[in-house]
Structure formats: structure tokens, C-alpha cells
Amino acid sequence: MFARAGSDGYSLIGEVKNRKAKFTVKEAKAFKRKAEELMRLEKTGKAVLFVFSAGGFYKNTLEYLEKNSVAWTDDRQWLEREY
């Protein structure tokens, strides 16, 4: 997912995995590479990266995401909220 922000804001770049399998470090690294390439191509100045994984995350994946400043959640309510 990509949402471009105005000139002073943060764009949002995210990945959603609505499955039973846990999100892996390999997937996290691939997402980060794709997000960095998207930022380069779209010339986004600032961006917030996030991952939703319904199946959760491995401990080492959470460590990688935290180290690389990627927000994450496995809270299904995030997808089910009505506004």
C-alpha cells in the first residue's frame, strides 16, 4: 500500500498479509527493499513503513522491524474497524 503525503507530511508505505502464516525476516527484508525503491522512484521525502500480519510475527522478525524503524501490528481489529 502506498499513500503519498503532501510536501511536509509523511507518506505511508505498507504491506498486509491476511493469512495464518507468520511474517518472516526474509519477507521483512524484501518489503524494506521494495519500500526503499518505491521511495526513490516516487521521490518521497519522508515515509512511515508498516506491516500488518494476521498470522503474527517471528521474534527475530520483530527485532528486525524494530531495528529498521518499521511499524507493525497483528491486531485484526486494525482491518475490521468501521469509521
The reply to whether 7 falls in a domain is no
Question: Could you give the number of structural domains in the chain?
Answer: 1
The reply to whether 83 falls in a domain is no
Give the C-alpha separation, 12 to 39, whole Å.
Answer: 10
Per-residue pLDDT reduced to its tens digit, 18-37: 999 999 999 999 999 999 99
pTM: 0.87
Model confidence band, residue 78 (pLDDT cutoffs 50, 70, 90): low
The reply to whether 2 falls in a domain is no
The reply to whether 38 falls in a domain is yes
How high is the pLDDT of residue 81? 62
Contact 74, 54 (CB under 8 A): yes
